Structure 1
Amino acid sequence: MGAPKPLVIDVDGTLLRTDLALESVWAGLGRAPRATLGALARHLGRPGALRRAVTRIAPPRVDLLPLRAEIAERALAAREAGREVVLVSDADAELVGQLSDHYGFSGGIGADGPGGMTGEGRARALKAAFGLRGYDYAGDGAADRAAWKAADRAVVVGGRARIVEDLHAAGRRVEVVPGGWRWRDLARALRPHQWVKNVLLFLPVLAAHDFAWPTLLLALAGIVAFSAAASCIYIVNDLLDLEADRLHPTKCRRPFAAGTVPIRAGMAACGALGLGALGVGAALGPAFLGVLVLYMALSLAYSLKLKRLRWVDIATLAALYTIRVVAGAAATGVAASFLMLVFVFPVFLALGCVKRMTELALAETDDRLPGRGYGRGDRGDLLNVAWLGVVGALVVFFAYSFSAQAQALYPTRWMLWLAMVPIAAWLVRMVVLGYRGKQDYDPIVFALRDRAGLGLIFFALSFMFYGAGLWQRWFGF
């Protein structure tokens, strides 16, 4: 018997649950956005030069890339059995070689020329290296069809019926390995639980006690636009943070970091959500559209740079929440009180500090948080800023009780002062639990599940509604 035939494995979507070339692009955008955007502009239309330039700007860590377990086990078993295992990808050849070296395989074939390493070009390269029928090939899509037909045995990830039938008709021996991705994982990447933050668009309506149906529907349309925009930016943020998320104890399970959803699917969803958000925004008028664009631009700046700057990241988070209140006023035409806007900012400044304190309290080492500028030595300063936010919010709320709007809307003004008690208790509870690491990594998600905290918020709203006479109007007492 002759020597066993080499096992050639497609990297993108087969050995890895991700795309190596796109990993390079997003790693560059995350770590060196200016240089990467410059490379994209300079080498537009020259894919070979672009691959080389982007990979050298910020090469992704090959040890963190998510593997497809079934193919990885097959490859390692083939290596142990003495078979030649070769990786092939349309990504930069040097990066493919690094991946091959990391796992101890025989070598890697990447895209050196402008034509790339796909379709017929890949089949020609493999036939030149191993001969017709001189190798077994594992791939995952239609682009691998030519390489499969030139191979002796075909391993098909995902098992698309038409591809399998075509290979059987061509006389290939076919083995199917489970693959693909699920829509519910993409839905999870949109973080729909975070949409609850957009109820802040109702705040101007609530503060003005304008509960007419047309006003509520306009606010709801604004929430839809902001939810789509937020999910668009969440996808961008996750793609920029792939390496940092893979180093995080819980974020490593996010769909793009874990490879359960392809990067291309995320990019397509991101584009659709962004266009949908802008379309709804345009329908709500130029004022709302301007606020929405500001929100998306600031969110993108946060994802690209600002979240890595100490203190600036927390201030930016607070500003993004405040923008939601402005958007609610722009969507409905209800005037937003200046003091109401000022009140929201220190509340979310405190919650931003809570988020970072929680991450530091739950960190397993004393190293700085991946992708952030904070270490455990910053917990004291974060706590102090959080207390400043709590005090500032309460002072502004107290000042609001003396405003002309408050006097007009709340005949029983002392109920506003009484409402400050549960508000203060809720804020203090959030800060203390965050400092002790007793929260979820996201304080908003924690707040929605915290029964004691929800009870405090209910009491605060009840006192305010009673002071405004709303309970009496709605329920007759």
Structure 2
Amino acid sequence: MGPTETATGRPLVLDADGTFLRTDMLLECFWAGLGRRPVDTLRASARHWRDRARLKAELARIAPLRVDLLPVEPEVKALAEEARAAGRPVALASASDISLVGPLADHHGFDRAFASDGRVNLKAGEKARVLSEAYGEGGFDYAGNETPDRKVWAHAAEAVVVGDRASARHLEAEGKPVREIAGGWAPRDLVRAMRPHQWVKNVLLFLPMIAAHEFTLATLLWVCLGIAAFSAAASCIYLVNDLLDLEADRLHVTKCRRPFASGAVPIRAGMLATLALGLAAVGIGAFLGPAFLAVVALYMVLSLAYSLRLKRMRWIDIATLASLYTIRVVAGAAASGVEASVFMLVFIFPVFITLGCVKRLTELTLAKGDERLPGRGYGRPDRDDLLNVSILGAAGALLIFFAYSFSEQGRTLYPDRWILWVALIPISWWLFRMVRLGWYGKQDYDPIVFALRDKRGVGLLLITLGLMFYAAGLWEDWFAIWFG
């Protein structure tokens, strides 16, 4: 049902969180506070969780928001512009704190703002009372999005219902004029926020099994379970990372389209999904044994520390990224029961240092200006240093690979060592190709994901693996089994 003719000149009042905005300012402040001042945020949340008005005021003080960046519901914004063009007063009424609602109303040209003030939580019945005092009983139209808004709609002349079908049906049954706006969100956007394409990085759990030549079905199944746990853990941390980085993502040329930054998925849904994924990771980890559970816990703690603080620290962030990749390899050993050799761990860490530098090189090359990357410690002047470190990491990894061929384990597993030395050619080509592509900005923002999609790079890795299998005599054994 469209607006009634009597709406002409009648004030239109819009709720903010979930109605005019595609987000919730209280939860925005909470996550922004966790990113900037986590101790103060948690202390305020624990102290004032029963006093919502005080909690909102404290969190807004700890982590003030860029209200100009908050995502707006297009249809509700169009409704406000339509009302304003018709000469109707348009107001914003929100349970969020006035320190945020006031600037938000000013930025979008609202005539008036009603909000919580640290003492009174302007929600449901309290909001209905304040609006009725300001405009008179039935003297305003109201747009809201959830069940508590029914107390306000009861005192409004006309109801605009955003994404709450049950309330719309309820109001229509009571004879209230209703205008519906779809709103809502799609589960596929939440899945997109989990970044399932990043799960391919967990193939690193197969490395200990491959390096030890343990190609049994039981080993494969245990590693696959480990991959499931790490995929859940990784998605859990990706969601946390996106929730902590809302403002930085909105300032980024491509990350602004991420589900939480754009408002495509509510923050509350992301928090519930984070909890479910974390429990799944810990549950599978416990099933696989205490060693694997400890590795998963270490990965999640280090990933959280990276999201909260370490990613903003120059060079520390790259070392942390390399450590997170290396932990996946350790997890593969813990899941399968195969020992991860010291040489392998010492070899792959500088490889991941190189790839961490490549990640930052790519971001800086694709950046539009010379200022530091939002939420990172690097700017364009750091490109040369990143290039030098990436080359040193690649050269160090190759030197360790060569030294491994002389170790006792290397001589045992790879009788034809000269073929192992030949394998240095494609792996060298792959490493320096990755550095070159990062320098010219011809990669994805994640080098591991790019590497697993890059056909030429995958070919070089497969050639390296094939040569290593040949040096180990595995091809001969497999041919004997298949054709003997």
Q: How high is the TM-score relative to the length of structure 2?
A: 0.95
Matches of 2:245 and 2:159 in 1, distance apart? 35
Q: Give the length in aligned residue pairs.
A: 476
Matches of 1:17 and 1:473 in 2, distance apart? 60
Residue 393 of structure 1 corresponds to 397
Structure 1 residue aligned with 2:59, among 46, 51, 54? 54
Structure 2 residue aligned with 1:170, among 174, 179, 196? 174
Residue 71 of structure 1 corresponds to 76
Give 5+ residue unaligned stretches, structure 2.
Answer: 1-5
Residue 311 of structure 1 corresponds to 315
Structure 2 residue aligned with 1:86, among 70, 78, 91? 91
> Could you tell me how far 1:45 is from its partner in structure 2?
2.6
Task: Tell whether 2:454 aligns with 1:450.
Answer: yes
Tell me which amino acid in the other structure corresponds to 2:375: G
Task: Tell whether 2:402 aligns with 1:402.
Answer: no
Structure 2 residue aligned with 1:341, among 345, 365, 370? 345
Tell me which amino acid in the other structure corresponds to 1:265: A
Matches of 1:115 and 1:329 in 2, distance apart? 56
Task: Map 1:160-199; keep pairs closer than 5 Å.
Answer: 160=165, 162-199=166-203
Matches of 2:91 and 2:466 in 1, distance apart? 67
Task: Tell whether 2:333 aligns with 1:329.
Answer: yes
Deviations 1:183-211 (A, max 9, x none): 11000000111111111111111111111
Tell me which amino acid in the other structure corresponds to 2:153: W
Residue 256 of structure 1 corresponds to 260
- 1:380 aligned counterpart, secondary structure: helix
Q: Is the 8 A contact 2:9 2:86 kept in 1?
A: no
> Could you tell me how far 1:217 is from its partner in structure 2?
1.0
Deviations 1:217-261 (A, max 9, x none): 111111111110110000000000001101111111110001100
> Could you tell me how far 1:114 is from its partner in structure 2?
5.3
User: 8-17 vs 267-276, which deviates more?
Assistant: 8-17
Q: Is the 8 A contact 2:97 2:118 kept in 1?
A: no
User: 83-92 vs 220-229, which deviates more?
Assistant: 83-92
Q: Tell me: CA distance 1:37–1:159, structure 2 relative to 1, closer, same or farther (3 Å).
A: closer
Structure 1 residue aligned with 2:212, among 205, 208, 231? 208
Q: Tell me: CA distance 1:3–1:197, structure 2 relative to 1, closer, same or farther (3 Å).
A: closer
Matches of 2:23 and 2:329 in 1, distance apart? 38
Matches of 1:112 and 1:170 in 2, distance apart? 33
> Could you tell me how far 1:142 is from its partner in structure 2?
1.7
Matches of 2:315 and 2:51 in 1, distance apart? 40
Tell me which amino acid in the other structure corresponds to 2:286: A
Return structure 1 stretches of 4+ with deviation > 6 angstroms: none
Tell me which amino acid in the other structure corresponds to 2:141: D
Tell me which amino acid in the other structure corresponds to 2:425: V
> Could you tell me how far 1:120 is from its partner in structure 2?
2.4
Structure 2 residue aligned with 1:132, among 137, 141, 144? 137
- 1:88 aligned counterpart, secondary structure: strand
> Could you tell me how far 1:123 is from its partner in structure 2?
2.0
Q: Is the 8 A contact 1:386 1:431 kept in 2?
A: yes
- 2:151 aligned counterpart, secondary structure: helix
Q: Is the 8 A contact 1:346 1:392 kept in 2?
A: yes
> Could you tell me how far 1:334 is from its partner in structure 2?
0.8
Matches of 1:233 and 1:128 in 2, distance apart? 46
Deviations 1:320-369 (A, max 9, x none): 11111111111121111001011111111111111111111111111110
Structure 1 residue aligned with 2:474, among 467, 470, 474? 470
Matches of 2:168 and 2:385 in 1, distance apart? 60
Residue 267 of structure 1 corresponds to 271
> Could you tell me how far 1:2 is from its partner in structure 2?
9.4
- 1:89 aligned counterpart, secondary structure: strand
Matches of 2:405 and 2:231 in 1, distance apart? 31
Task: Tell whether 2:30 aligns with 1:25.
Answer: yes
Q: Is the 8 A contact 1:21 1:90 kept in 2?
A: no
Q: Is the 8 A contact 2:53 2:116 kept in 1?
A: yes
Q: How high is the TM-score relative to the length of structure 1?
A: 0.97
Task: Map 1:366-385; keep pairs closer than 5 Å.
Answer: 366-385=370-389
Deviations 1:32-73 (A, max 9, x none): 223222322333432222211111112110111111111112
For the aligned residue pairs, the C-alpha RMSD in angstroms reads 1.5
> Could you tell me how far 1:446 is from its partner in structure 2?
1.8
> Could you tell me how far 1:475 is from its partner in structure 2?
3.2
Residue 251 of structure 2 corresponds to 247
Tell me which amino acid in the other structure corresponds to 2:143: A
Matches of 1:175 and 1:216 in 2, distance apart? 56
Matches of 1:174 and 1:407 in 2, distance apart? 79
- 1:90 aligned counterpart, secondary structure: strand
Matches of 1:129 and 1:339 in 2, distance apart? 74
Identity %: 63
